[in-house]
Structure 1
């Protein structure tokens, strides 16, 4: 893998995953970065370039989607974690066996982290604007907008055109199977759940690593504080801390859901690298607190 090259990985269920690698000259660790829903991996290139310049190999990747060799109705969002992310983590650990494995997740990337079997190999995880999508975690008018989205608008649009159009996400379209599972999750208090309603908590309770969650103050439409706190409950024994970022911290007018990764907000990146590397220089994991496993209301 050379600086910013592209390559293909194959998951355990035989799906091709497109990835990009960013090589550091004097590597101290390797970072796997899982992006947000509908956001192509190229969007994160500036952030990945910065991490590489700080001594971190970085691997970004795209989740399976409409060009996968899987029928659109059979695609599942859960496989973004159980298959796609797991394959990238496996590759990183095998390709760089002498380097500690770190993780950065944006939005859905932080939700599916605990679905990946190899997440237990990660030494520290940074989750940015990652949240439970259950509509009740929003407040005011946003709560009812999210209810409308997940119960009516998005299911109807998916049935009408056979996918969730990209303009509804601000990114790439989602195939029918993924769109339907995501909408079902967002209607459930459990959020990540099987078709019968059983919660998906594959490896969440095995993760004892330090985790930092970032809330973006002006991201109330997509990842408000209550929704981020709810996701924190999915990781019951991890060492968790919560930080709030504001546009003023970055010296910009707004950040929103994706602004942290724009070059204009690069002043925010050095503390993230410092935090990611801190556990590697200590004698043990930096566990800053425990939390209870979030149970689904009966």
Structure 2
């Protein structure tokens, strides 16, 4: 992407351990009385940059604040301690959402694939504050629903 208008890189502390989460925030081009922030949680193997065109579109065309972020250990050059998906949800995603709750009146969460499954692991007090949720290709992770799994029982 050659030009990322009205965007900046920020660091947001994760919940619980304050691990520094790298994020990009896209600000709307026009000042607006609405204080809505969209948080985009990425799919496994994607980086926050994958979502930049969509984030910029939401920001510029719909006058919304948009944050994309990377989970700890994803696309980092430094080594990170052992990380579980639970850390990505309960610490990283929860930290980004908490940051947004402090700054914006409404927070909308868009989760792509694994990013959509975060809600099953988020603390209840975080889920209760989210205004709206949009899940994209977020499959049901319960293995007993998959017929191929029954062959192993």
TM-score by length of 2: 0.79
More helix by share: 1
Shift of 1:135: 5.0
Instruction: State the Cα deviation string for residues 90-141 of structure 1 (Å, max 9, x = none).
Output: 1111122xx21111110011101242231211111010100123455456xx
**Equivalent residue, structure 2, for 1:101:** 107
**Equivalent residue, structure 2, for 1:52:** 59
Is the CA contact (8 Å cut-off) linking 1:104 and 1:127 kept in structure 2? Answer: yes
Residue of structure 1 aligned with 2:140, choices 116, 124, 132: 132
Structure 2 matches for 1:69-108, cutoff 5 A?
70-71=80-81, 74-96=82-104, 99-108=105-114
Aligned-residue CA RMSD (Å): 2.4
* Structure ID, larger Rg: 1
Structure 2 matches for 1:118-267, cutoff 5 A?
118-135=126-143, 137-138=145-146, 143=148
Distance 2:63 2:146 in 1: 38
2:26 is the alignment partner of 1:22: yes
Distance 2:45 2:55 in 1: 18
Secondary structure of the structure 2 residue equivalent to 1:8: strand
Which blocks of at least 5 consecutive residues in structure 1 are unaligned?
148-186, 188-298
Residue of structure 1 aligned with 2:12, choices 9, 12, 18: 9
Is the CA contact (8 Å cut-off) linking 2:108 and 2:133 kept in structure 1? Answer: yes
Count the aligned residue pairs. 138
Instruction: State the Cα deviation string for residues 147-190 of structure 1 (Å, max 9, x = none).
Output: 9xxxxxxxxxxxxxxxxxxxxxxxxxxxxxxxxxxxxxxx9xxx
**Equivalent residue, structure 2, for 1:198:** none
Instruction: State the Cα deviation string for residues 182-226 of structure 1 (Å, max 9, x = none).
Output: xxxxx9xxxxxxxxxxxxxxxxxxxxxxxxxxxxxxxxxxxxxxx
TM-score by length of 1: 0.42
Which blocks of at least 5 consecutive residues in structure 2 are unaligned?
none
Q: Which has the higher contact order (CA 8 A, sep 6+)?
A: 2
Secondary structure of the structure 2 residue equivalent to 1:36: coil
Describe the shift of the 1:114–1:137 C-alpha distance in structure 2 as closer, same or farther (beyond 3 A): closer
